[in-house]
Amino acid sequence: MCRKDINFSLWCDFVERNFLDGEFKDLINNNVVNGATSNPAIFKSAFLTSPAYQEDRARLKTDNAKSIYEKLAIEDIKRAAASMAHLYEKDNDGFISIEVDPFLCDDAKATIEEGKRLYKAIGKNNVMIKVPATKAGYEAMEVLMSDGIHVNATLIFSPDQAKNCVEAFKRATDKYESGVKLPQGVISVFVSRFDGKLDSTLKDLGMQTAKVGIYNATQIYHLIEDYNMPNIRTLFASTGVKSDALEVDYYIKELLFKNSVNTAPLDTIKAFIQSNEIEEIIPNKEYEEFFNNLEKNGVDMEKVYSELLHDGLVSFKDAFKQILDEL
């Protein structure tokens, strides 16, 4: 459940048309979620498996594949945005994110052009353009936000990535002169993929498992909070568990920090609701000793960060390619 008193938000990491027209509205009305996110992998599952898109796909079959993808995605984003417009108007989030073509991740100019084009085509104020945290992405984020577009910086694994994102957002905020409320930015820190990658190593070292993702996210959270920017928040992403040994909502409960967002899969959100545990966690700095121990035991976190970013970009590109191939 969302906690307005500590500015903690829960967003749904799932988009599918029948869901948006039904259960999603119930989750909003019951104050369970106040935002949503999408990515190529989510749209791949929706567009290629849900019967809700068959009629539109048949109608659009003469278009090229990317045009079909964008028209289907834009329609879903519009629906989600409309359902949450009242939240946005009350400064209670209400954001829905759409990601730029992941194949543009190293092309700042093309990312900027596509981000602006998608934002205009959707025509809703409560849309965030999602941009991967690459060198080109930092440039694109700054330009988009300075133009008043809300930005979701995604695929953040390292503190260095997070720092580059928040610096880009700071420059954009300083440039923004509209007088309308400041564009918002979230820095999406991926969590569970660390544990999927490193838990077997930690077990061999006799160290506690399922902690790398939590501690890394906490470290980055402190970094972002130190900037004290009211329009920028940490978003914890990839919060579905990768191990049956963990509670389904483990990564929500362990990262329930003030002034943060957690975007979680639908099953994770349902487990969290049922547990009814929504106590604020006060983040400490235990991670410092933890990462020192990792380094002493030969775990190169810089290498881990690089590999996870590479794998994340590849997975989004693969999902996007599969969508286009099928469409």
Start-to-end CA span in the chain (Å): 37
For 203-233, give the DSSP string: HHHTPPSS-HHHHHHHHHHHHHHTT--TTEE
Measuring CA to CA, which residue among 299, 304, 216 is closest to residue 255?
216
285 noted as active-site residue: no
User: Which letter does DSSP use for residue 3 in this model?
Assistant: B
Residue 123 φ/ψ region, left for φ over 0, alpha for ψ in the -120 to 50 degree band, beta for the rest? left
Give the DSSP H/E element, type plus range, for residue 176: none
CA distance 308 to 300: 13
CA distance 266 to 273: 11
- From 4, 109, 120, 130, active-site residue: 130
Residue 132 corresponds to which tokens in the numbers above?
Answer: 């991967």
101 contacts: CB under 8 Å, gap ≥ 6: 66, 110, 114, 320
Residue 274 corresponds to which tokens in the numbers above?
Answer: 């049922």
Strand-pairing partners, residue 22, are none
The catalytic residues are 130
